[in-house]
């Protein structure tokens, strides 16, 4: 059953209450600046951003499911396309493309040409190791975990670091069993 995910993404985005992207951009920048101030080590900032993203992802997925009307994904491949075409579109207003699937179908790359979080950002030399948008890796990890997929998401290319585009590599680690609460009498 072919679904037009692009269209689903547009529709979902159209329904969301919206704000000027610059509010998000500047607020995110302010938050990253705060983290950089609080932690001396750039790796630690990357970690914190990922954790914040994870916390956001586990809550955001509910809104996603409620408003996107996408229905359940049949496979990891399906999930990847849904994230790229519907999820990102719905929340950030931009789509991504899915590419470079591994042989076993457990790894893919999410390629983003545009990212509203990148506007106005210039990373200084001494923060070269910073993955500015690492929060997105956390969001993906958190959201997928709520859908019973434990993944690892890492930035492998970043436009802010001089690469041509931004790319997140997502790797499926395991499918989790549904957790049922213990029977209490």
What residues make contact with other proteins under the rule CB under 8 A?
Answer: 13, 16-24, 26-31, 33-34, 38, 48, 52, 55-56, 59-60, 63, 90-93, 116, 119-122, 135, 162
Angle (nearest 5°) at CA 109 between 136 and 19: 35
Q: Which is nearer to other proteins, 79 or 159 (CB)?
A: 159
Nearest residue (CB) to other proteins, 61 versus 98: 61
CB of 178 to other proteins, least distance (A): 25
161 and 128 in contact (C-beta within 8 Å)?
Answer: yes
How many whole angstroms separate alpha carbon 151 and alpha carbon 10? 26
Whole-number minimum distance, CB 71 to other proteins, in Å?
20
Within 10 angstroms of residue 71's Cβ, the number of other Cβ atoms is 12
Nearer to other proteins, 52 or 106 (CB): 52
Least Å distance, CB 118 to other proteins, is 8
Instruction: Say if residues 8 and 85 touch (Cβ distance below 8 Å).
Output: yes
For other proteins, give the closer residue by CB, 59 or 150.
59
Which residues sit opposite 111 in a β-bridge? 97, 167
Smallest distance, other proteins to C-beta of residue 183, A = 31
**E strand or H helix at 166, and its extent?**
strand 166-175
């Amino acid at each position: 059953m072919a679904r037009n995910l692009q269209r689903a993404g547009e529709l979902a985005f159209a329904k969301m209450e919206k704000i000027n992207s610059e509010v998000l951009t500047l607020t995110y920048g302010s938050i990253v600046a705060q983290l950089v101030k609080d932690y001396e080590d750039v790796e630690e900032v990357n970690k914190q951003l990922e954790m914040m993203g994870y916390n956001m992802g586990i809550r955001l997925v509910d809104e996603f499911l409620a408003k996107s009307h996408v229905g359940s994904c049949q496979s990891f491949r399906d999930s990847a396309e849904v994230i790229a075409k519907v999820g990102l579109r719905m929340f950030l207003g931009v789509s991504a493309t899915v590419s470079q699937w591994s042989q076993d179908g457990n790894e893919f790359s999410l390629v983003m040409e545009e990212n509203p979080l990148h506007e106005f950002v210039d990373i200084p030399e001494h923060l070269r190791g910073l993955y500015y948008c690492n929060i997105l890796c956390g969001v993906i990890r958190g959201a997928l975990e709520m859908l019973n997929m434990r993944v690892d998401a890492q930035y492998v290319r970043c436009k802010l670091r001089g690469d041509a585009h931004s790319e997140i590599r997502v790797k499926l680690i395991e499918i989790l069993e549904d957790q049922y609460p213990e029977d209490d009498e």
